[in-house]
Amino acid sequence: MSSVEENDVLIIEDSPAVGILLREFLTKLGLKKIRHCQNGKTGIEMFKEMVDSGSVPLVFLDYNLPDMTAYSIMSQMLSIRPDVKVVIETAREKSEEQIKDVIAQGAYQYLGKPIRLEKLREIIDTLRIEEIQAIDADGIENIEEIISNSTQISLLRVMQYMDKPEEVIQPLINKMVADKKIVKINDIKEVSCPRCGTIRVAQTFHCPKCKGTNFKQDKIIEHYKCGNVSPAQTYVEDKCPKCHELIKIFGVDYRVQENFYICNDCGDVFAEIVTKYLCLKCGDKFALENAKIVSSPGYSYLRPSA
């Protein structure tokens, strides 16, 4: 098994300064094979190249890229290699909910900006721990490690992380409850793959028209008179691309809407992304209505009080 130091790294980050800093920190942490690009399109190409040459890089992905959204890029990478680990970097402060969201959508970790060496070290250390666990995946220490890393976790997820059946996991969990290391909470409902039953699934995002995963977030202008709806930059010199008239008064004859998506493949403009699920184990793709929702006991770690 290759060690973390041997891992290929792919940085997709449009700010050269952040890219350089990230590379410097990663080098300090012992990673050597680092590639860097500045947009989603090149990122996907480099990713494919690396996968073709037999490696699955650890990916550092900027949340706000000019040409594609992070979700779009993550969806494409996950459909090529469901086991890819993507670390999302973002400048804006995220709430715990939003972070959970990003993680639920298949990201491996979240890295806040400004990037700190300590946080990066934590992520790389977790990778090292997982590698050790993959070699020796049993024992109560490992379960404790897994549970302490999440705010709450289901029995099913622990079973899948440990790759052990309920008969093995439940007694270990019962012992931890008795020792007051963890506490039982409500049952947790999770989306599972209708084909193989695993809950290791990620959300993917698609254009409603062509079902592609290559889109970006942008603002659009709607021209009331002719009904044209297209990206702001298509109104060259304030001329509507459809009727060629000048757009005049904001709010009166046109309006601007933020947070729209534009498909880079088919050009469709849309407000709602189509969500699908991708099974990280068998590769099956399915919609939420076809998903199997499974419920199992939830547990929460009791942090030893200082």
Neighbours of 59 (CB within 10 A): 25
* Closest CB to Zn ion among residues 5, 265: 265
* Closest CB to Zn ion among residues 148, 160: 160
Which among 16-24, 111-119, 123-131, 188-196 is the span making contact with Zn ion, rule CB under 5 A?
A: 188-196
Q: What minimum distance in Å lies between the beta carbon of 282 and Zn ion?
A: 3
Single-letter code of the amino acid located at 286? F
Q: What minimum distance in Å lies between the beta carbon of 45 and Zn ion?
A: 19
Cis status, amide bond into 114, omega within 30 of 0: yes
Evaluate whether 176 touches 300 at the Cβ level (below 8 Å): no
Q: What minimum distance in Å lies between the beta carbon of 275 and Zn ion?
A: 15
* Closest CB to Zn ion among residues 110, 260: 260
297: β partners: none
Q: Interface with Zn ion includes 202 (CB under 5 A)?
A: no
Neighbours of 163 (CB within 10 A): 11
Our CA angle for 161, 30, 109, nearest 5°, is 35
Q: Which of 301, 296, 303 is nearest to 170 (CA)?
A: 296
Q: How many residues bind Zn ion (CB under 5 A)?
A: 21
What is the spatial distance between Cα 128 and Cα 250, in angstroms, rounded to a whole number?
55
Neighbours of 232 (CB within 10 A): 13
* Closest CB to Zn ion among residues 11, 207: 207
* Closest CB to Zn ion among residues 94, 242: 242
* Closest CB to Zn ion among residues 144, 268: 268
What is the spatial distance between Cα 278 and Cα 105, in angstroms, rounded to a whole number?
10
Residues 221-250 contacting Zn ion, CB under 5 A: 223, 226, 228, 240, 242-243
Binding-residue pattern over the window 122 to 141 for Zn ion, x denoting contact by CB under 5 A: --------------------
**Which residue in the set 117, 271, 282, 288 belongs to the binding site for Zn ion (CB under 5 A)?**
282
**Which residue in the set 255, 284, 285, 294 belongs to the binding site for Zn ion (CB under 5 A)?**
284
**Which residue in the set 37, 147, 207, 221 belongs to the binding site for Zn ion (CB under 5 A)?**
207
Q: Where are the alpha helices (DSSP H) in the chain?
A: 16-28, 40-52, 70-80, 96-104, 117-135, 140-148, 155-162, 166-178
Q: What is the dihedral of CA 195, 48, 102, 25, to 10 degrees?
A: 140
Q: What minimum distance in Å lies between the beta carbon of 206 and Zn ion?
A: 8
Q: Interface with Zn ion includes 195 (CB under 5 A)?
A: yes
Which among 12-20, 81-89, 153-161, 208-216 is the span making contact with Zn ion, rule CB under 5 A?
A: 208-216
* Closest CB to Zn ion among residues 132, 226: 226
Which DSSP state fits 156?
H
Helix (H, G, I), strand (E, B) or coil at 144: helix
Q: Given the rule CB under 5 A, which residues bind Zn ion?
A: 193, 195-196, 207, 209-210, 212, 223, 226, 228, 240, 242-243, 263, 265-266, 268, 279, 281-282, 284
